[in-house]
Each structure stands twice: as C-alpha cells, then as structure tokens.
Amino acid sequence: MSVSLKAKIAEVFEEPGCDINQGKSEKERKKGCTKQLSPGAAAGGCAFDGAKIALQPVVDVAHLVHGPIACEGNSWDNRHSASSGSTIYRSGFTTDINELDVIYGGEKRLFKSIREIIEKYDPPAVFVYQTCVTALTGDDIEAVCKRAAEKFGKPVIPVNAPGFAGPKNLGNKLGAEAILDYVIGTVEPEFTTPYDINIIGEYNLVGELWQVKPLLDALGIRILSCISGDGRYKQIASAHRAKVNMMVCSKSMINIATKMEQRYGIPYFEGSFYGISDMSETLRQIASLLVKQGADAELIERTERLIEVEEARAYKRIAEYKQRLQGKRVLLITGGVKSWSVVAALQEGGMEIVGTSVKKSTKEDKEKIKEIMGEGADAHMIDDMTPREMYAMLKEARADIMLSGGRSQFVALKARMPWLDINQERHHPYGGYEGMVELVHEIHRAIFNPVWQQVRIPAPWGDDGESLGAVTPTVTTDHLSGIAAKAMGLEPEEIPA
Amino acid sequence: MARVVESKKACTVNPLKMSQPLGASFAFLGLDACMPVMHGSQGCTSFGLVLLVRHFKEAIPLQTTAMNEVTAILGGYENIEAALLNIRKRAAPKVIAICSTGLTETKGDDVDGYLVTARQRHPELADTEIIYVSTPDYVGAFEDGFKHAITAIVKSQVKPLPVVAHQVTLLPGSHLTPSDIDELREIIQAFGLNPIVLPDISGSLDGHIATDWRGTTLGGTTLEQIRSAGASAFTLGIGEQTREGAEALETIAGTPLEIFERLTGLACNDRFLQRLSLLSGKPVPAKYRRQRSQLLDAMLDGHFYTGGMKVAIAAEPDLMLALGGLLHEMGAELTCCISTTQSKAHALLPADQVLLGDLEDLEIAGKDCDLLVTHSHGRQAAERLNKPLLRVGFPVFDRVGNAHKVSVGYRGSMNLIFEIANLMIERIAHHHAGDWPITPEAQLATKRLDQRNDPLPSTPLAAASA
C-alpha cells in the first residue's frame, strides 16, 4: 500500500466527529480502528466497493475501474440510485487488465481508457478507482490521473481505495476523501443564496431525495449539492459555498462534514429523512441553522407551518392502515441511523418492535432507541443475531414481519413469513412524509397478502419438503448456531456503508 | 465458421464478462454439502455473491479468505488456514473448494503447498475434502473458471473403478439451468441409464424450501457420486467447456466420451438420443418421438417471425453457440456476435466473426438489428435502442424463475422458439389508415381535366415518387 494511502487511512481514523475515537487514548487512536476480518467467516464488501457506493451516485461522471474483470464485471449496475438527468454513471467502465498488464503494469492501458471515455462520452469528469491487483503491481493512478487531466483539460479524479485496504465502511470514507481533495472548492457557483445547503450521505435510492426536495423547494431552500445522490460534478465542486451541511448517514461520509467545517466554516448537523417526526426535526434544524447563518428569521415560521400541514396529511393517510396494523410485531434487522429512525416510523403506524439490530449503530443511535422505545428498550436491542435465530423467531411467529436487507430475505421467506426490503436493493422509496406513508402501505401489503395462508398449508401426504439431509454436523449445535450469518453472507447489513 | 477477433479498446464499457473465480464457485455450488471459498479480499466474494443471489433468489453459501494489505504482500497461508478451520467449525461441509483470485495470483500464493501444510498441521481437517483451482481474474472468463473447476474436481476425486454398464457421467456446462439438468437426467433415465451429474446445480439452486438452515450447499453431487464416476461406461459433455473435464475422466478412468456442442435444436438432440439409444440398446421412447414432432411443428409455426431477422448476441461461447445455432436454423442472421473468451465453440458458430468484446460493442452493432440477446446487463442498451431483449444465461437479475427455464431437449428447444417468436410478434408494427397516402400525381390523375388548371405544389414526396 502506498505511503499516501496509509497516511490517508490514518487521517480518516483520526476523525474528530467520531465519539468512539475521541474516547480513546492518544496511543490507541494511532492504531486506527480496522478490525482484522476473519477468514472463512467474513461477509460484505471491500474498500473498493465502499468507495464506489459512496461516489457512484454522482450521475454525470464516468466511473472507471482500474483492475481485472472481477471488480466491475461482477458488480456493475446493482444499485438503485436514481438520476434526474445523465445516465452515464450506470455504464460500467473498466480497464479489464490482462496478464501482460500484471507483469508490465497497466498505467498505459489506464491512460488510453481515460482518453477513450473522454472522446466517446465527454463527461464533465472521470473518476478512476484503484483495485487490489493494480495497487499490488504498483500502478500509480494519481500520476496517471494528473497527466490525463492536464492532457485532456478535464478533471480526472483518482479514488485510491483498493479492496484489501479494509472493509466497505473505510472505502466510503476514502471515497469521500477523494471528493475533499480533488473536487470540493474547485468551481464557484453561478450565484449563491442565504438558503443554500449540502446534503451529505444521501444516495437517492429509488428517488427518495425527490420525496424531500419539493418540501425544501417550497421553503426556498436550495440544495446546492447532494453528495452524492443524483449529484452533478459541478455542483459538488461548488459545495464549499453552502451555508449548512446536513449529514444523512454519519457512518459513511462524516469526514466530508467535519473537514468542510474546518476548511470553510460550514456548520453541520445529523438528520434523517425516515419517519414523520424525524423529517419534521430535520426541517427545523435546517431552518434554524440557516437563520443562524444569516437567512431571514421568518423561515422558521414558514417551516413550522409547512410541518403542521404535512404532518396532519401524513397521519391522516397512515390512519387508514393503523387499525389493521395495530399490534403487529416487527423484527427490524438493519443498522446505523435506521435502527432508530425506522423504529419511530413504525411506532407511528401502530406497530410493535420485537427487535432492532444495533450491531452497526453508534452510542447516540442506541441512546435514541432508548428514548423512542422507553422502558424495556434494552431487551429489544439485538447485538448480533444469526439467521438461525431470526429464522426461529419468525418460524415460531414471535414476529409478524421482518424488515431487513436483501441478503437475509430468505431467512423470512423460507420461514414462510412476510419480509420487506428496507436496504439498498428495495424498489419503494421511503423518504420524507411521502415515504413514511409508502412504508406503512408496503408493510400492510406484505402482511395481508393472502399468499401467506397458501404457503403455510401443509402437504396432504405429510412430506413438506423435508431437508435433504445434506449436512451431518460434526460439531455441537452450539457452534452451529453461528453458521449461517457469516458463512452464508447473511449477516445484517446497513446502507450505505 | 466464425473468425475470432479481439477488441482493440483499452477501456471495457459495460462488461459482458464475469470473472473466472465466479465461474469456478458456480461449479462448486453444484456439489453437495460444499462451501466454495474465494482466496482474495472480501469484495471479490461479495460481488459474486450478490450476482448469484440476484439471479437465483436464493441464499448462496460462498466464503472469503478476507485478504488484507499485509497478507496480500506476505502471502495468504494464515488466511487459508484460518478459513479452513473457521468454515469446518461453523458449517461442517464435506467439501471446501478454494478458488484463487487476481489478488492472490498476482502475489503468487502457492495454495497447493499451503494445503499440504494445513493438512499436516491440522489433522482435524481429515474429514473434509479440499479442492483447489487456480482462477486468476485477469485471465479468461466465467466459463473458463467453470471448466477448470470441473477438471479440478475430477482430478482430485476420481479413481478408476470397474465399469458399470448402465452408468454414464453427464457433465453439464455452466450455461444450463437447474431445470435443464433435470430435463437431461429425465431423458437419460428414460433409456434405463443411470446418470452421475457433475456438477449438479439442480439439487442446490433449484429454489425449494427446506425446513432448516445449512451453512453449505443443500443438494448437488455427493462425494460418493463423484468418486463413482470412475465406474461410468461413458461421459456425455454438454458444451465445449466440458471437454477438459471429460478428457480428464478419460485419462484417469479410460471412459470414452462424446461432447455435444449444444442441445438446442432438432438435429443435435437427434444425435443425443441416438447416442443414448446406442449406449442402452433401447429404442427412443414414445414420449420423445412425440416431443420431436411437437418441436417440428413449433419450428414451422415460429419461422414466420424469425426468418430473415437480424440478431445481435452477446454471450459466453457455449451459450452463444446454443442460441446462435438454433436462431440460424430458424432463419435468423447473426449479424453481431460478442463473446468473452477464446473457445473452440466459436469455430462452429454460423456467423462471420466473433468479437471478444463488451456490451458497448453490442449496443453499437445492435442499432440495425431486430433482436438483442444477452444477459440482464443488456437492459440499458435495449432500452436506449428501443429493441426487444431476449434475456439469457447469467446473470438474469430482473426476472424471476430463472432456475426453472428449460431450453434443452426437444421440449426446451420448443420453449425457446416460442419465446423468441413471441418477442418478435410483440414488435410487429401496426399499420394505420394514413400509412399509405396516395401520391399527388395519382391524386391529380383522379381529377377532371377542367379542374387541372392549378399546378401542383412541388413537394418532396412528389419529387421522390417522380
């Protein structure tokens, strides 16, 4: 790993916005926070994956992966991050290096690839992603990008996050570092207003940003840039002129918010677009911070009036489901912010939370869960649940529905219980007041689908698809209980980290 | 008789190709109680895993040795050792199958050596078979990985045994679905033959609901079955990619072989049934004679829509031959053929040229075609070109029921013909009353002479028809 990358990783781990980090001694902090992954028991993406996830929603640039076919050929076009314009971000670009590139180096191929992209597609910028093999053989993507940028007169941004550098979450932050180092502050906006904000860590999955944007538009608040959902290169390059930063997912790109505060004095706050009360709180925060930064004080009144109208409308629309959903028990396997913001949302729909995973949640996240769930919240916070336990819980009908990411869907489906995707592969947007109604509608639709009666009818001849007895465990069941989570890649996941 | 041309582009745009380790892992998913492992960093596995899950809509057992920056430099012995022990403890598989990746091949990890050391140090691994296959990402493609995995399974497990007359080994290519395999098994059994299918994803990836969780594959070829392949009287390989494995069986156990380059279409299935009839000494069952005549009728019904159509196809070599062969027989012209890797199958393709390229090439050439044929990643191109897309192969992530599609045998060929013809029927242009306006000249001709005074305005249409 190059010296610059090592320094970058160390810097990312010095994160002042991270309270865990601040709680450590000087010496401990130096060690960073990479946990060694456990071979044969690891799941999830790598640093390259994380960087790509964080930056791919910048829709008008070409994302070029410098490496062998596995890195892009096996992964492209697998996320639903919506664009209101350019679709070039959905094209997969890769140098697809061969044996000769491994031996002689792939820098020339990379340079030519950048040229081909600029000649054929003419994007405002090219993002170049480093991968394991080309990092190992020593291709200097920073140098190639610099040279290409000079030669072609276009920004060519190196994203130095090879897979072996660490897990997905580190990759998110390294992707953010590339934005900080090479993009933000390089372009001046055509004009500025006292109502300009940046939204950071919102990826516009299935267009959720657009469930929120009309509210901001109505208040006269301008999204100067969204990093990175439906993002445009030039907007992000001029993000340094915003008055306020909103962090949507602090686990993924908090370094952008903290560094923009240091460099440009832009205050930030962490908010959520999930759930009615969270949405209102977010609007209030934006308004009050903008007023502190010089916006007209009447913004706060206008915001309150909007909240009143929107909340009333949303509750009215939820009420039609509330009666039938009253007391339905939900098992929530997600992480981070959603471990509490969705809890609040579900309670608003009259549902009971039988468990929420907190494996990837911060201390604040856990505090917020306690605040929302009140007495007995501890009992419902699940640290690390194996699919076997989830399966048992659903099979024994201790929950009526599971909300999770796509990879654990089969736990619910094979237990013949309803399941709803709330992570990145979902097809329904759950943002803002609109999205909350949508979520409750979808839960209702899932639980009351008559198919559940059908699939639970036992076969008349008694044999109900008995397992084929493929595996005879040679170890105790105690050990076996940990099987599937990691071994099958089914451990709970969060978005977008 | 296609000529193979390599792309001259430096940058691959919209990849068609997937990596060797993914193809190899796919093969290992067809072994029973198996845990495939990619020896590389975590992302190598997770990308492949996501594709498999999206295609099959099933939980997929697939593990990683989770290489990091230090082990990538110093070598992955400890990661392999830890992975073996962890997997054995957690999932108790009968087989652990290791596929190398670009990362560990670049470093040059000696996995064969590592495995010898691990076995010596950990006698508790004695109850677990370990199969290793070298599959660098920067060489070959999905199909090559699958091919090498079959060979690795055969070489590591099969020993010569006394021949059992009615037992045959069936090596299906990676382009066959679980239901394709079921169909072939049924055909073979109809002749009183007992097939050993290697690898058999029809048990493990066919979408069924079990009553419990397993950490490994559930169903597929068992170790006992693999070993007993040494007793088979014959090897039937479906697709060029199975030749290497079939020849390994011949070398080890002296089993004669025949490779069927495809089983989509009439003549190739005739040859297949004829071979089974010879092997078993039994006539072709009435069921298949009837299916054959149904296929004939389907070809007659379908040819109206497929005759003369231009097709742009992008697929792995054996799949492309299977589809391209049938399309050609149905009167279609293969104007653009894109594939991923070198294969002898290309020589048999009824087209001028095969380009080893990407989906950008397909999109460019597809502009003048009537039908695009490729995996789901072609959906964007089809949308932009407003052309029908026949989704084939792997991955097909925006459709359900992939495991249950049958396109081999007479019945499968019939299905395929219907699917293609129906796609074309959907696109038949509907004409409107105003589609054929009368020319001004003709209009003039219909007028009375005394009304012909005012000269006609010169229009482009009039000029063109003049």
- Does residue A96 belong to the interface with chain B, where contact is any CB pair within 8 Å? yes
A136 vs B contacts (CB less than 8 Å):
72-73, 103, 106-107
Shortest distance between the Cα of A467 and any Cα of chain B, in A, equals: 5
Neighbours of B130 (CB within 10 A): 18
> What Å distances lie between residue A233 and A59, A142, A227, CA to CA?
8, 19, 10
pLDDT of residue A462: 58
Binary contact (A91, B54; C-beta < 8 A)? no
**Confidence band of B451 (pLDDT split at 50, 70, 90):** low
B397 vs A contacts (CB less than 8 Å):
78
Shortest distance between the Cα of A94 and any Cα of chain B, in A, equals: 5
Residues of chain A above pLDDT 70, percent:
86
Residue A474 has pLDDT above 50, yes or no: no
Q: Which of A96, A467, A480 sits opposite B12 (nearest CB)?
A: A96
Burial A390-402 (b: 16+ CB within 10 A, else e): bbebbbeeebbbb
**Confidence band of B399 (pLDDT split at 50, 70, 90):** very high
Q: What is the mean pLDDT of residues A446-471?
A: 67
Closest to A421 (Cα-Cα) out of A397, A411, B235: A411
Burial A248-279 (b: 16+ CB within 10 A, else e): bbbbbbbbbbbbbeeeeebebebbbbbbbbbb
Instruction: Give the Cα separation of A327 and B40 in Å (integer).
Output: 46
Q: What is the mean pLDDT of residues A416-441?
A: 85
pLDDT of residue A12: 81
Q: Write the ipTM.
A: 0.86
Amino acid at B306: T
Instruction: Give the Cα separation of A86 and A231 in Å (integer).
Output: 10
Amino acid at B432: H
Quick: pLDDT tens for A44-79.
Answer: 889 999 999 999 999 999 999 999 999 999 999 987
Quick: pLDDT tens for B77-111.
Answer: 999 999 999 999 988 999 999 999 999 999 999 99
Task: Find the range with the poorest average confidence among A51-60, A66-75, A349-358, B137-146.
Answer: A349-358
**Confidence band of B281 (pLDDT split at 50, 70, 90):** very high
Binary contact (A465, B210; C-beta < 8 A)? yes
Residue B353 has pLDDT above 50, yes or no: yes
Instruction: Give the Cα separation of A295 and B323 in Å (integer).
Output: 64
**Chain-wide mean pLDDT for chain B?**
93
Q: What is the mean pLDDT of residues A346-371?
A: 80
**Confidence band of A491 (pLDDT split at 50, 70, 90):** very low
B258 secondary structure, DSSP code:
E
Instruction: Give the Cα separation of B118 and A215 in Å (integer).
Output: 61
Instruction: Give the Cα separation of B462 and B466 in Å (integer).
Output: 6
pLDDT of residue A13: 74
B103 vs A contacts (CB less than 8 Å):
132-133, 136, 163-164
pLDDT of residue A425: 63
Residue of B nearest to A166 (CA): B68
Residue of A nearest to B19 (CA): A70
Structure tokens at B202: 């029809």
**Confidence band of B58 (pLDDT split at 50, 70, 90):** confident
Binary contact (B93, A97; C-beta < 8 A)? no
- Whose tokens are 């242009």? That residue is B429
pLDDT of residue A367: 81
**Chain-wide mean pLDDT for chain A?**
85
Q: Which of A34, A416, A471 sits opposite B214 (nearest CB)?
A: A471
Q: Which of B18, B49, B127 sits opposite A73 (nearest CB)?
A: B18
Indicate which of A74, A103, A122, A394 best probes the interface with B, i.e. most B CBs within 10 Å of its own CB. Answer: A74
Binary contact (A37, B94; C-beta < 8 A)? no
Number of inter-chain CB pairs under 8 A, A vs B: 296
Half-sphere exposure of A445 (CA within 13 A, CB side): 9
pLDDT of residue B462: 46
Residue A274 has pLDDT above 90, yes or no: no
Instruction: Give the Cα separation of A31 and A213 in Å (integer).
Output: 41
Binary contact (A42, B22; C-beta < 8 A)? no
Mark which residues 32-71 of A lie under 8 Å from B by CB. 34, 36-49, 64, 67-71
Residues of chain B above pLDDT 90, percent:
85
Structure tokens at B69: 């920056």
A126-130, strands of its sheet edge to edge: A156-159, A126-130, A62-66, A93-94, B12-13
What is the residue-wise DSSP string for A377-394? HHHHEES---HHHHHHHH
**Confidence band of A29 (pLDDT split at 50, 70, 90):** low
Task: Find the range with the poorest average confidence among A56-60, B58-62, B116-120, B388-392.
Answer: B58-62
Neighbours of B83 (CB within 10 A): 27
Q: SS3 sequence, B300-350?
A: HHHHHHHCCCEEEEECCHHHHHHHHHHHHHCCCEEEEEEECCCCHHHHHCC
Q: Which of B63, B90, B101 sits opposite A479 (nearest CB)?
A: B90
The answer to whether the CB of B51 falls within 8 A of the CB of A444 is no
Residue of A nearest to B135 (CA): A70
B106 vs A contacts (CB less than 8 Å):
102, 132-133, 136-137
Q: Which of B47, B53, B219 sits opposite A70 (nearest CB)?
A: B47
B258 has which bridge partners? B236
**Confidence band of A409 (pLDDT split at 50, 70, 90):** confident
Max avg pLDDT among A249-253, A401-405, A464-468: A401-405
Sign of the CA dihedral B272, B273, B274, B276? positive
Residue of A nearest to B94 (CA): A471
A39 vs B contacts (CB less than 8 Å):
64-66, 78-80, 82-83, 86
Instruction: Give the Cα separation of A131 and B254 in Å (integer).
Output: 44
Residue A22 has pLDDT above 70, yes or no: no
- Does residue A395 belong to the interface with chain B, where contact is any CB pair within 8 Å? no
What interhelical angle do A298-325 and A276-292 show, nearest 10? 170
**Confidence band of A472 (pLDDT split at 50, 70, 90):** very low
Q: Which of B60, B83, B127 sits opposite A40 (nearest CB)?
A: B83
Shortest distance between the Cα of B447 and any Cα of chain A, in A, equals: 54
Structure tokens at A324: 């039938």
Structure tokens at A55: 């930056």
Quick: pLDDT tens for B307-340.
Answer: 999 999 999 999 999 999 999 999 999 999 999 9
Quick: pLDDT tens for A173-201.
Answer: 999 999 999 999 999 999 999 999 999 99
Binary contact (A74, B18; C-beta < 8 A)? yes
A270 has which bridge partners? A247
What is the residue-wise DSSP string for B224-238? HHHHHGGG-SEEEEE
Binary contact (A38, B82; C-beta < 8 A)? yes
